[in-house]
Amino acid sequence: MAPGGEPRFAIIQKSAVLQVAIFILIVIFMANLSPLVDAILHPEIPYFDGEHLIVGGINGVVSILFFGLLLFHIRRLNKAMEKINKLEMFLPICSNCKRIRIPDSDPDAMESWRQIESYISEKTTTQFSHGICPECFEKYYANPKNGTVKG
107: CB partners within 8 A, 6+ apart: 92, 101
Whether pTM exceeds 0.85 = no
C-alpha 35/C-alpha 17 separation (Å) is 28
Is the pLDDT at 129 greater than 60? The verdict is yes
Does 149 have pLDDT greater than 70? no
pLDDT, one tens digit per residue, over 26-75 is: 888 888 888 888 888 888 888 888 888 888 889 889 988 998 898 889 88
Give per-residue pLDDT as tens, 66-118.
Answer: 988 988 898 899 888 887 877 767 778 888 888 888 877 888 888 888 888 88
Cα–Cα distance measured from residue 108 to residue 101, given in angstroms and rounded to the nearest whole number: 10
- Extents of the domains making up the chain: 16-87, 91-151
Beta-bridge partners for 114: 100
